[in-house]
Each structure stands twice: as structure tokens, then as C-alpha cells.
């Protein structure tokens, strides 16, 4: 077991911090798509960098193109303008070098937990017995071994995402990309998942690019946070999070955390309003333009 464990950890570590690799560089990124009313610019001139072993989040109002940016790093989208590079190699197709975790649970329902984790290794051509023991080791390290033979349908949402993260790490990717992975979870589960993810990262030191719209989540997890503007999305600010590591949930009450939160909050709410500009004006923001003083609305009319 210990020998295998070491082997698997080496496998992952090799690809990330040990060789000092896993640098993401997106520069002058732009993406537009055609529509009936002419081309629509989703992202314009966005530039980000993730240094090897760094945890970086992108935060922004919904529809600002943060997922688009992440999908381009994953290789699912081609930028209209600019370049996406990982370790100085241009990204042009999805690859196991860039592990991806999706918001929608993306485990294969027809594969057991272990077979899901094995998938990337199978695609690499690893023989059955080796990948089986590698997957078991990984699941054991993540405390999921008891569920190795379960089908995903029987797992809770949090469990599915944990398996999803382990699956993405199994091939030893250079970087890990997460697209609002905890967005569909309830608040309590989300907090636990954040703790698990930060602890996991603490041990792996893999480069992570994390997309979220949750400010607390971004601050809690990240070394740096990029804040994006409303459509067309571009990088509005870059905030370094100087909180000590390892991170604990109790830090979320610290004055340092709250100050960061306040700063990011004002940046985001401005953009959220802009993003909803067509839908929300000053009147709408008040909820109602009249005060009914406790009377039912139907009476007033």
C-alpha cells in the first residue's frame, strides 16, 4: 500500500510542483460568437497568469465569461483573439494534462466510483490491474475507498464532486481547472467541500484555476483572485489574498478576511448591477416603489 501510495503521489507531484511546472498564461484573450444581431463579444482582452503551484480564482457576475475563459484553458473553446498557454505550449484541444471538474456532476453513471477514477489511466493505456490499484490508492487517500464499487447515482452531490476531483487528479495533470464545482451543493456541504479542497491542495501544491461567483469561497481558497467585469468580460482587478495557510473555516470571521470580503463585494456588486442593467433600475432595486405599511398589495390597488 505505502509503496503504491508513494508511486501515485509521485505521479501527481511529478507533473506539478516537483518539476516546477503548471504555469497558465492567458493573454489578450477575446472571444466573440455570431448571433442574429451580429457578433457578440463575450470576453474582451482578458489576461491572467497562474504560477506553478498557485491557487487562483476568477470571480465575476453571472454571464461575464469566466466559465468561457476556463473552457478555453481546458481546450474546449478556441479564443477569437489572444493566446492561451500552459507551460509555454499553446492550448488547442482538451487533454489529460489539464484536469477539469464541472459544475454539473459529470461522473459516468455507468461506471462505478473506481472505474470513474480509472478512466483517465485507461485512456493512457495503463493495464487493468495497475490502474485498478492506482485508483484504489487514490480513493483511499481521499477517504473514498468504502464507496469504490458504488454507482454515482447512489452518491450525494458532495461525494460526487469529491470523486470528480480525484478522477481529474488521477492522470497527474499539470493544472486543475474547476468550474463552479460546488455551485449545486447546499451551503453546509459547500463549506465542508471547500475545506477538503484547500487541504487537498495544501498537500498536492498543484496549480489550480477556480471559477466561482461566491466571494467567500474565492477568498477562502485562493492565493489570488481575479475579478471580472460584466459582459464583455475583462479583468477588472487582481486581489492578492494574504491569509495564512493552511486555511481554516474560523478565518472567515477574522477582520482580515472581512476586509477582503468588503473590498471584493463592492467590486462585484457594481458589476452585477451592470450585468443586469437591462433588468434592474433604481426603482426595481427597492423591490417596490411604494410602502404599503403592512397592507396587502391587492388592497392598495
Partner 1 sequence: MKRAVLMRSLPAPAPAALPSPVLAPQMQPPAPNVASEQSLFRINAIVRHWLLQHRDQIRTLAIGAVSLALFLLSWHFLATYRVSFHVRFTNVPTPVQVFQSLARAAHNGRLLQHVVLSCRRIALGFIIATLIAVPLGLVMGRFRFARDVIFPISEVLRPIPAIAWVPMSIMLWPSNEESIVFITFIGSFFPILLNTLHGMASVDPVLVRASQSLGANEFAIFREVYFPASLPSIFTGLTVGMGVAWVSLIAAEMISGQFGIGYFTWEAYSLVQYSDIALGMICIGVLGLSSSAIIRGIGRIVMPWKTNT
Where does this chain bind partner 1 (CB under 8 A)?
74-76, 93-96, 98-100, 102, 104, 106-111, 119-120, 123-124, 146, 149-151, 153-154, 167-168, 171
- CB closer to partner 1, 58 vs 70: 70
Could you tell me the three cell numbers for 222? 485562493
State in angstroms the smallest separation of the CB of 167 from partner 1: 7
Sequence-separated (6 or more) residues with CB below 8 Å from residue 293: none
- CB closer to partner 1, 77 vs 267: 77
Considering Cα of 173, then 179, then 185, then 188, what sign does the dihedral take?
positive
Contact 4, 140 (CB under 8 A): no
Phi-psi region of 125 (alpha: psi -120 to 50; beta: other; left: phi over 0): left
Sequence-separated (6 or more) residues with CB below 8 Å from residue 294: none
- CB closer to partner 1, 21 vs 224: 21
DSSP letter (8 states) at residue 16: I
279 CA to centre of own chain: 28
State in angstroms the smallest separation of the CB of 107 from partner 1: 8
- CB closer to partner 1, 80 vs 106: 106
- CB closer to partner 1, 19 vs 149: 149
Could you tell me the three cell numbers for 17? 510542483
> Rounded to an integer, what distance in angstroms lies between the CA atom of residue 107 and that of residue 8?
21
- CB closer to partner 1, 33 vs 108: 108
State in angstroms the smallest separation of the CB of 114 from partner 1: 11
257 CA to centre of own chain: 20
State in angstroms the smallest separation of the CB of 37 from partner 1: 26
> Rounded to an integer, what distance in angstroms lies between the CA atom of residue 248 and that of residue 241?
14
State in angstroms the smallest separation of the CB of 260 from partner 1: 31
State in angstroms the smallest separation of the CB of 198 from partner 1: 22
Work out the burial of residue 2: count CB atoms within 10 Å of its CB; fewer than 13 is exposed, 13-18 middle, 19 or more buried.
Answer: exposed
- CB closer to partner 1, 175 vs 275: 175
- CB closer to partner 1, 142 vs 273: 142
State in angstroms the smallest separation of the CB of 143 from partner 1: 14
Contact 171, 96 (CB under 8 A): yes
Amino acid at each position: 500500500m505505502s509503496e503504491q501510495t508513494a508511486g501515485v503521489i509521485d505521479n501527481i507531484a511529478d507533473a506539478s510542483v516537483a518539476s516546477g511546472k503548471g504555469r497558465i498564461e492567458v493573454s489578450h484573450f477575446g472571444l466573440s460568437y455570431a448571433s442574429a444581431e451580429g457578433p457578440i463579444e463575450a470576453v474582451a482582452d482578458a489576461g491572467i497568469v497562474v504560477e506553478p503551484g498557485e491557487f487562483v480564482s476568477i470571480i465575476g457576475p453571472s454571464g461575464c465569461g469566466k466559465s468561457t475563459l476556463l473552457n478555453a484553458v481546458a481546450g474546449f473553446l478556441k479564443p477569437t483573439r489572444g493566446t492561451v498557454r500552459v507551460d509555454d505550449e499553446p492550448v488547442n484541444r482538451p487533454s489529460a494534462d489539464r484536469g477539469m471538474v464541472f459544475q454539473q456532476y459529470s461522473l459516468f453513471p455507468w461506471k462505478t466510483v473506481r472505474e470513474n477514477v480509472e478512466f483517465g489511466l485507461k485512456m493512457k493505456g495503463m493495464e487493468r490491474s495497475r490502474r485498478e490499484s492506482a485508483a484504489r490508492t487514490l480513493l483511499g487517500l481521499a477517504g473514498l475507498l468504502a464507496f469504490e464499487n458504488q454507482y454515482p447515482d447512489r452518491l450525494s452531490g458532495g461525494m460526487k464532486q469529491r470523486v470528480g476531483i480525484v478522477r481529474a487528479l488521477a492522470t497527474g495533470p499539470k493544472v486543475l481547472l474547476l468550474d463552479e464545482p460546488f455551485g449545486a451543493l447546499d451551503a453546509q456541504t459547500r463549506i465542508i467541500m471547500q475545506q477538503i479542497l484547500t487541504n487537498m491542495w495544501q498537500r498536492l501544491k498543484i496549480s489550480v484555476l477556480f471559477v466561482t461567483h461566491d466571494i467567500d469561497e474565492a477568498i477562502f481558497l485562493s492565493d489570488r483572485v481575479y475579478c471580472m467585469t460584466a459582459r464583455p468580460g475583462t479583468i477588472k482587478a487582481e486581489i492578492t489574498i494574504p491569509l495564512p495557510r493552511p486555511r481554516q473555516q474560523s478565518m472567515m470571521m477574522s477582520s482580515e478576511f472581512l476586509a477582503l470580503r468588503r473590498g471584493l463585494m463592492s467590486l462585484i456588486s457594481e458589476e452585477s448591477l451592470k450585468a443586469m442593467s437591462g433588468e434592474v433600475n433604481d426603482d426595481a432595486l427597492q423591490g417596490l416603489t411604494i410602502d404599503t405599511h403592512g397592507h396587502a398589495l391587492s388592497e392598495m390597488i
